[in-house]
Amino acid sequence: MELKTKINAEEGKHDLVITREFDLPLELLFKAYEEPEIVEQWMGTKVVKLENKKHGGWQFETSDPNGNVVFQANGVYHEFVPNRKITRTFEMGNAPFDVQLEFLEFEPLTEDTSKLTMHIVYRSVALRDQMLKLPFKQGINMAHNRLQEVVSKLK
Amino acid sequence: MNLRRDVFQAIADPTRRAILLLVASHSMTAGAIAANFDTARPTVSKHLQILIECELLAQEQNGREIYYHINAKKMKEVADFIEPFRKMWDDRFNKLEAIMKNYKPRK
């Protein structure tokens, strides 16, 4: 099936653009970024802090079933214009990656559809490519782990 | 100087991308490839060498001529590496869409 999400990452550049058209009115799309309980559901992480205003901070945290924090991310809002725009920084905790800058633009297409354009700027080309490859590497790791599980059951 | 050849670096160059497009349909000799560019023949040779080093192109001896053709397997790898990242965001956005379609405002 064709993915509705498009990624434009030109070679040799230190930024990328993610675009997605939603089968949702603009207000509902924006609400998904505004309300902590909803963010938790679709991001699959716990929202520790979400201060929806200029200079407000945000913080996400994901724990494994034993309560160990496995993912942590945080940042600050530089712009928070309801139904239009969010400018924020994004930084992963306990990871050797420099902070990234994100511009999120929300626009209506029709009464029932809307579009999100996410422009992410990284410190360097190398860092962008590294971040792009993270899910790719995780996918390989997961495949390895699954393989290991299967193999260990055979013993 | 022994530069590490990175496929992404290789396809960052417009001439090299054009070469890949040229040989995508059928294998060609270096001369035939060079004929498509205004740049000097040695420059085109250098580009071919880089594409071979990173395995995007393969050589094949046919009589006295060397033909260049695309390495489809490697090309697919390049096209695919961004897919898991795209898939990750697509999954998130699909979830967002599904949640918001059922959204009932709190009183």
CATH number at residue A81: 3.30.530.20
Reported as a single tens digit per residue, the pLDDT across A49-98 is 999 999 999 999 999 889 899 889 999 999 999 999 999 999 999 888 99
Provide the domain limits for residue A56: 15-123
Residue of A nearest to B104 (CA): A28
0.90 surpassed by pTM: no
Q: What number is the average pLDDT over the span B98-103?
A: 94
Please tell me the predicted confidence (pLDDT) of residue B2.
40
A43/B contact by beta carbon, under 8 A? yes
Helix (H, G, I), strand (E, B) or coil at B98: helix
Q: What number is the average pLDDT over the span A124-148?
A: 76
Neighbours of B33 (CB within 10 A): 22
Contacts of A42 in chain B (CB under 8 A): 92-93, 95-96, 99
Instruction: Specify if A4 maps to a domain.
Output: no
Instruction: Specify if A57 maps to a domain.
Output: yes
CA distance A44 to chain B (A): 8
CA distance B65 to chain A (A): 33
Residue among B13, B97, B103 with most chain A CBs within 10 A, to mutate: B97
Same-domain status, A46 and A118 = yes
Instruction: Specify if A110 maps to a domain.
Output: yes
**B51 phi, psi to nearest 5 deg:** -65, -30
Instruction: Specify if A129 maps to a domain.
Output: yes
Instruction: Specify if B97 maps to a domain.
Output: no
B100/A contact by beta carbon, under 8 A? yes
Instruction: Specify if B85 maps to a domain.
Output: no
A4/B contact by beta carbon, under 8 A? yes
Same-domain status, A62 and A78 = yes
Please tell me the predicted confidence (pLDDT) of residue A30.
97
Instruction: Specify if B32 maps to a domain.
Output: yes
Please tell me the predicted confidence (pLDDT) of residue B47.
94
Domain count, chain A: 2
Provide the domain limits for residue B11: 7-80
* Complex prediction ipTM: 0.86
Buried b (16+ CB within 10 A) or exposed e, B64-77: eeebbebbeebbee
Domain count, chain B: 1
Instruction: Specify if B53 maps to a domain.
Output: yes
Same-domain status, A88 and A107 = yes
CA distance B9 to chain A (A): 7
Instruction: Specify if B70 maps to a domain.
Output: yes
Same-domain status, A76 and A110 = yes
Instruction: Specify if A7 maps to a domain.
Output: no
A contact residues 50-69, partner B, Cβ 8 Å cutoff = none
Same-domain status, A33 and A68 = yes
d(CA B89, CA A7): 9
Instruction: Specify if A59 maps to a domain.
Output: yes
Instruction: Specify if B63 maps to a domain.
Output: yes
Question: Confidence class of residue A104 from pLDDT cuts 50, 70 and 90?
Answer: very high
Residue of A nearest to B90 (CA): A5
Same-domain status, A140 and A118 = no
Instruction: Specify if B72 maps to a domain.
Output: yes
d(CA A59, CA A88): 12
Instruction: Specify if B103 maps to a domain.
Output: no
Contact B51, B57 (CB under 8 A): yes
- Give Cβ neighbours of residue A129 (< 8 Å, ≥ 6 apart): B8
Contact A90, A71 (CB under 8 A): no
Same-domain status, A112 and A133 = no
Reported as a single tens digit per residue, the pLDDT across B28-47 is 999 999 999 998 899 999 99
A136/B contact by beta carbon, under 8 A? yes
Same-domain status, A104 and A65 = yes
Same-domain status, A29 and A97 = yes
B61: tokens are 């001896």
Instruction: Specify if A35 maps to a domain.
Output: yes
CATH number of residue B20's parent domain:
1.10.10.10
